[in-house]
């Protein structure tokens, strides 16, 4: 039983269209607000407009084209991308790499809460330019806020049904969107071709050095590349070649749209924007309403990409032991498409809270970008390890590359720090995500560190004797223990105690089943070791970190294959256990640990382990997490002795009662 699902690098018109629909939603909708945010309420002049446009252009080249399209996409983990996939490739090269992985994942999730409302609000606010709607649609008023809340709520509601039906329209819609950007921008460039000189890097330098507080404008410039990290996360859906080829069209469309907006800004004869959006100003009046509809659809698609990416990220975090186990569903037959109800609810609540609090895209622009700069910095750090140790690049070349991006991203980060006062409440959400990952990961490591293993071979004869002892009632035909022992002859001591202590568990066959989460995304294979033929069997199942484990189905499939190959006797006998049913009796035993009262803890360990305990109570049960049917599962509890109390001052009272 071996499955390996990879991405295709076959390039066709259809695969390029799919890439447009899945990959570029977030970065593709940035022309709605990026240049507008740079101008803000400032006086429109050449230094500001040319400098802002130049900075946007070179940011797209450095951050998106060079870092992500060329370099980061090389971090292809069997066809999959994203910060956890990159971490899985390099984690062996440094124990501390877990920190940038967790920080990057935390801030990427946070990005999923602010991107949908700012994108949808930017599109909906364009209705205020339609004749007859100016007095009804005003940025920040109740009508706009209500429309955005309704659109977002519908989007999150339909997540449970999957995107199999509507997903096929994503590519064509985004094709129309990027074509609209290209045509609208090009029409302005034809009128004012002098704007092309603004692509020179000298204008970006002048803005940063000569414009008053010009450096801090980088916080707004950064909005043009906020979808680059999501681009890498969606690698598995399209393949590297499709992403790189489609990026040529996307980048030309984006740059053309920004050039068109800048050209309009330089020739519109007013000193201030006064709430106008340069994007909708370059759209012909006769096409304004259709453009708003297309923009709204594009922002919904961008939001969908981030929501789906958040599901994937949490699913990977669960399988890599960074997140408590939660219910994960597969709403359709699409490869890799999942739905996580708890994440969906949190994202919906967060997005609605964002629009209710900020009320307009302009206010959200002031808070946007801080999180994703941290994600990009953490990706750069992991990327350096990947280039050096996996691709074996020259260490000086890697140092120069990482150093360049460290300077660029640190500059963006410092500029975005100024936004903290606009988003202080958002920090609590990010801190909460980080603490959940940190506590869960470290507490799991503590549990694993104090798990004691023993040699299974020492107990093989006793297990065989117990199996044949008719004086003890049969517990099950097949008794299966889930074990963390990845070595062939090892088993946890607590499992041996469970079998032999108190009431011994007699069975025809004792199985010890180990589920190994691999660093590859879609591995699914197994190996079998029989310590005693048809009596004591160890099975290792290797499951990729993007696959939902269905342990019971896997196990029964393995048994069927062993029987079909005549490697296993199913022990179907006319005795009490199978007299009325020819099917074998499977019993799975899951042993859960609890903190023993015999422990005494250091403060930090106490916080970690008690935090883990509360998170575990909120998560789904082990049998659900492993894909086991309740009717076939027995849950046992074993004490975890972490730091036994050593000094007990207990004295005997010699007073004799009379």
Burial classification of residue 411, based on how many CB atoms lie within 10 Å of its CB (0-12 exposed, 13-18 middle, 19 or more buried): middle
Residue 351 and residue 343: Cα distance in Å, rounded? Answer: 12
Q: 655: pLDDT confidence band, cut at 50, 70 and 90?
A: low
Whether the Cβ atoms of residue 35 and residue 195 lie closer than 8 Å to each other: no
Q: Has residue 216 got a pLDDT over 80?
A: yes
Contacts of 362 (CB under 8 A, 6+ apart): 36, 37, 40, 139, 140, 275
Q: Has residue 412 got a pLDDT over 50?
A: yes
Q: 376: pLDDT confidence band, cut at 50, 70 and 90?
A: very high
Q: Has residue 14 got a pLDDT over 90?
A: no
Count of CB atoms within 10 A of residue 78's CB?
A: 20
Rounded to an integer, the average pLDDT of 621-627 is 73
Whether the Cβ atoms of residue 123 and residue 296 lie closer than 8 Å to each other: yes
Provide the CA 641 distance to its chain's centre, in angstroms.
Answer: 34
Q: Which residues of 576-600 are buried (b: 16+ CB within 10 A; e: fewer)?
A: ebbeeeeebbbbbbbbebebeeebe
Rounded to an integer, the average pLDDT of 574-600 is 64
Q: Where is average pLDDT lowest: 122-131, 329-338, 404-413?
A: 329-338
DSSP 141: S
Q: Where is average pLDDT lowest: 242-251, 287-296, 447-456, 495-504?
A: 447-456
Give the full edge-to-edge strand order of the sheet including 633-640: 524-532, 536-544, 506-518, 474-483, 586-595, 633-640
Phi and psi, residue 281, nearest 5°: -70, -25
- What is the domain partition of the chain in residue ranges? 13-444, 453-640
Count of CB atoms within 10 A of residue 240's CB?
A: 16
Residue 437 and residue 87: Cα distance in Å, rounded? Answer: 14
Of 51-55, 609-613, 646-650, where does the model show the most confidence? 51-55
* Length of the chain in terms of residues written: 658
* Both tokens assigned to 370: 């801080």
Q: Has residue 228 got a pLDDT over 90?
A: no
Residue 177 and residue 184: Cα distance in Å, rounded? Answer: 11
Q: Has residue 44 got a pLDDT over 50?
A: yes
More confident of the two residues 648 and 325 = 325
Q: Has residue 607 got a pLDDT over 90?
A: no
* Both tokens assigned to 164: 């199999």
Specify the pLDDT at position 369: 82
Rounded to an integer, the average pLDDT of 288-309 is 90
Specify the pLDDT at position 336: 58
Give the number of C-alpha atoms closer than 13 A to the C-alpha of residue 514, restricted to the C-beta side: 21
Phi-psi domain of 451 (left: phi exceeds 0; alpha: psi -120 through 50; beta: other): beta
Provide the β-strand partners of residue 536.
510, 532
Rounded to an integer, the average pLDDT of 405-431 is 86
Percent of the chain with pLDDT over 70: 90
Mean per-residue pLDDT of the chain? 85
Specify the pLDDT at position 161: 80
Specify the pLDDT at position 110: 84
* CATH class, range 13-444: mainly alpha
Specify the pLDDT at position 573: 46
The pTM of the whole model exceeds 0.95: no
More confident of the two residues 188 and 421 = 188
Count of CB atoms within 10 A of residue 449's CB?
A: 8
Q: Give the H or E element holding residue 635.
A: strand 633-640
Specify the pLDDT at position 640: 64
pLDDT (tens digit per residue) in 543-583: 887 787 888 888 888 888 888 888 877 655 444 444 555 56
* Both tokens assigned to 420: 């903290």
Phi and psi, residue 297, nearest 5°: -60, -40
Specify the pLDDT at position 575: 43
Q: Has residue 517 got a pLDDT over 70?
A: yes
**Measured CA distances, 522 to 7, 10, 19, 30, 544 (Å):** 11, 19, 21, 33, 4
Count of CB atoms within 10 A of residue 123's CB?
A: 29
């Amino acid at each position: 039983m071996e499955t390996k699902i990879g991405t295709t690098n076959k390039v066709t018109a259809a695969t390029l269209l799919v890439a447009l629909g899945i990959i570029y939603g977030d970065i593709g909708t940035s022309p709605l607000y990026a240049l507008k945010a740079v101008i803000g309420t400032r006086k429109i002049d050449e230094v500001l407009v040319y400098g802002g446009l130049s900075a946007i252009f070179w940011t797209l080249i450095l951050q998106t084209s060079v870092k992500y399209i060329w370099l980061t996409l090389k971090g292809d983990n069997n066809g999959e991308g994203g910060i956890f996939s990159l971490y899985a490739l390099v984690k062996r090269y440094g124990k501390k790499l877990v920190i940038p992985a967790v920080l990057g994942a935390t801030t990427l999730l946070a990005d999923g809460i602010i991107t949908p409302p700012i994108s949808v609000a930017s599109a909906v606010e364009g209705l205020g330019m339609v004749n007859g709607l100016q007095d009804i649609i005003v940025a920040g008023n109740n009508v706009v806020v209500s429309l955005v809340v309704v659109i977002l709520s519908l989007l999150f509601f339909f997540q449970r049904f999957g995107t199999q039906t509507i997903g096929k329209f994503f590519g064509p819609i985004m094709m129309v969107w990027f074509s609209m950007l290209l045509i609208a921008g090009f029409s302005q460039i034809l009128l004012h071709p002098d704007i092309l000189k603004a692509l020179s890097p000298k204008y970006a330098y002048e803005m940063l050095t000569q414009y008053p507080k010009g450096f801090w404008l980088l916080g707004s410039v950064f909005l043009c590349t906020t979808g680059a990290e999501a681009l890498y996360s969606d690698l598995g859906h399209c393949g590297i070649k499709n992403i790189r080829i489609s990026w040529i069209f996307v980048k030309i469309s984006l740059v053309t749209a920004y050039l068109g907006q800048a050209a309009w800004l330089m020739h519109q004869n007013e000193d201030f924007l006064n709430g106008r959006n340069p994007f909708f100003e370059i759209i012909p009046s006769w096409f304004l309403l259709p453009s708003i509809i297309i923009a709204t659809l594009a922002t919904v698609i961008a939001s969908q990409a981030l929501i789906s990416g958040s599901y994937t990220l949490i699913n990977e975090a669960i399988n890599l032991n960074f997140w408590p186990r939660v219910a994960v569903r597969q709403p359709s037959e699409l490869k890799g498409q999942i739905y996580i109800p708890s994440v969906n609810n949190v994202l919906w609540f967060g997005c609605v809270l964002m629009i209710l609090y900020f009320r307009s895209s302009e206010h959200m622009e002031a808070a946007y970008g801080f999180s994703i700069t941290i994600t990009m910095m953490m990706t750069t750090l992991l990327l350096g390890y990947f280039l050096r140790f996996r691709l074996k690049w020259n260490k000086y070349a890697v140092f120069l590359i990482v150093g360049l991006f460290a300077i660029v991203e640190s500059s963006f980060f410092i500029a975005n720090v100024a936004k903290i006062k606009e988003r202080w409440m958002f920090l609590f959400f990010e801190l909460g995500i980080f603490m959940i990952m940190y506590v869960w990961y470290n507490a799991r490591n503590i549990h694993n560190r104090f798990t004691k293993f023993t040699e299974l071979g020492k107990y093989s004869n006793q297990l065989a004797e117990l199996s044949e002892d008719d004086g003890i009632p049969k517990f099950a035909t097949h008794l299966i223990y889930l074990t963390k022992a990845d070595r062939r002859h090892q088993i946890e001591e607590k499992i041996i105690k469970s079998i032999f202590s108190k009431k011994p568990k007699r069975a025809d066959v004792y199985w010890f089943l180990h589920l190994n989460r691999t660093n590859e995304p879609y591995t699914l294979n197994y190996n079998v070791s029989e310590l005693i033929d048809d009596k004591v069997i160890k099975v290792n199942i290797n499951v990729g970190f993007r696959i939902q484990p269905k342990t019971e189905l896997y196990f029964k499939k393995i048994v069927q294959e062993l029987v079909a190959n005549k490697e296993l006797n199913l022990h179907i006998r006319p005795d009490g256990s199978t007299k009325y049913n020819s099917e074998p009796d499977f019993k799975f035993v899951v042993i859960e640990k609890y903190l023993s009262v015999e422990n005494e803890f250091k403060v930090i360990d106490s916080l970690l382990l008690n935090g883990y305990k509360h998170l575990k109570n909120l998560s789904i049960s082990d049998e659900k997490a492993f894909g086991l049917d309740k009717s076939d599962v027995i849950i046992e509890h074993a004490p975890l002795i972490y730091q036994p109390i050593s000094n007990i001052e207990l004295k005997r009272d010699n007073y004799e009662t009379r």
